[in-house]
Amino acid sequence: MKKLPVIAVALTILMFSCKKESNTPDFSATDKGGIGIEFDNVAGDADLVLNTAAYTNAVGETYNITKFNYYISNIVLLNENGSEYTVPKDESYFLVEEDNEATHVVELENVPAGNYTGIRFIVGIDSLKCTAPVEERTGVLDPAAGGADMYWSWNSGYIFLKMEGTSSASAMGDYMYHIGGFGGYSSATINNIKTISLTVPAGGKATVRKDITPDMHLLIDAKKVLDGTTNVSIAANSMVMFNDYSVNIANNYANMFRIDHVHND
């Protein structure tokens, strides 16, 4: 009978030892790894198909999509412990082009090891970079090279999202949505910079380790450019660029992103 208290104490010690061990991270605070962010463009519940697929918007107009591009910048990874990792600014500008598969996955390197359950980023280009000297805007931001198709030379600003296509609803037979505007430099103008915050579906996390490079798979629904807080009529608004109506389209596409799943391979 006297052995029972001894056994109870031993079991208690074992339980606490196991609990302590399970809370010990399987990585060092100095470990670094990588993560891929995949931007998978869709239309509703199907893959986005340029040129040939016919879609119908919320007001009953049919259309196709011939071009679908957007800028992603200022990426921040959200750790399950409440901390954040901000990707170095000069490494955090990306142009996703539907017709260029090489742009669909953003590879981030030197990410602190950890368990990431969310992401935050901007659709567009922040005002500081928009107004920086042109020699500091390289790669996809170079107005004379990688960013040439996404820059207004007449307006000195970037096109944050470009969606073009054809539609019988348009008197011209096509439509064009070039959405930008960073708020202005010397005076206030349209500001269509959108900050997106997303959370991994319940129970999921991206486990960045020295030997594990997870993939965070996002779905981007192109149909939500037209369907959302404002149901856009192509007949009434077949060409939208730097004008007040562009705010409605920007508010719509702010809701086209979601995390579908994470691969920890």
pLDDT tens string 163-210:
999 999 999 999 999 999 999 877 889 999 999 999 999 989 999 999
Average pLDDT over residues 116-129: 98
Instruction: Please tell me the pTM assigned to this model.
Output: 0.90
Of 140, 151, 52, residue with least CA distance to 96? 140
Would 177 be classed as within a structural domain? yes
23 or 84: whose pLDDT is higher?
A: 84
- The band of 57, judged by pLDDT with boundaries at 50, 70 and 90, is very high
As a whole number of angstroms, the longest Cα–Cα distance in the chain is 94
pLDDT at 155 over 80: no
* pLDDT tops 60 at residue 11: no
Highest mean pLDDT among 2-16, 20-34, 182-196, 201-215: 201-215
The predicted structure's pLDDT at residue 213? 98
48 domain residue, yes or no: yes
In a domain, 19, yes or no: no
Q: How many Cβ atoms from other residues are within 10 Å of residue 28's Cβ?
A: 9
**Would you say residue 64 has pLDDT above 90?**
yes
Q: What is the mean pLDDT of residues 5-30?
A: 60
Inside any domain, residue 26: no
Model pLDDT, residue 121: 99
- Taking the C-alpha atoms of residue 44 and residue 245, their distance in angstroms, rounded to an integer, is 24
Cβ neighbours around 71 below 10 Å, total: 23
Please indicate, yes or no, if residue 18 is contained in any of the structural domains. no
Mean pLDDT of the chain: 92
d(CA 139, CA 4) in angstroms, rounded, equals: 72
CA-nearest of 211, 217, 216 to 33 is 211
The total of structural domains in the chain comes to: 1
- Using the predicted structure, report yes or no on whether residue 20 has a pLDDT greater than 50: no
d(CA 87, CA 84): 10
Amino acid at 78: L
For the CA atoms of 25, 39, 73, 231, what is the dihedral angle to 10 degrees?
-130
Residue 190 forms part of a structural domain: yes
Q: Give the start-end residues of each E strand in 50-140.
A: 55-56, 62-63, 67-79, 84-86, 93-97, 105-112, 114-123
Q: What pLDDT, on the 0 to 100 scale, is given for residue 28?
A: 92
Percent share of the chain, pLDDT over 90:
83
Take residue 238 and report the two structure tokens written for it.
Answer: 């077949």
**pLDDT at position 21:** 46
d(CA 263, CA 27): 19
Q: Which residues pair with residue 209 across a beta bridge?
A: 212
Radius of gyration of the chain (CA): 23
Parallel, antiparallel, or unpaired for β 46-47 and 84-86? unpaired
Please, is 20 exposed, middle or buried when counting C-beta atoms within 10 Å of its C-beta (0-12, 13-18, 19+)? exposed
Q: List the domain range (segments joined by +) for residue 145.
A: 33-263
Q: Which residue has the tokens 């061990």?
A: 21
Report how far residue 142's alpha carbon sits from residue 151's, in angstroms, rounded to the nearest whole number.
9
Query: What does the pLDDT read at residue 33?
Result: 98
- Give domain status of residue 117, yes or no: yes
Q: Is residue 250, in this structure, part of any structural domain at all?
A: yes
Mean pLDDT to the nearest integer, 85-100: 98
pLDDT, residue 186, reads 77
- In angstroms, the Cα distances linking 262 to 25, 83, 94, 127, 162 are 20, 19, 20, 31, 27
CA distances (Å), origin 8, targets 1, 37, 58 = 12, 49, 66
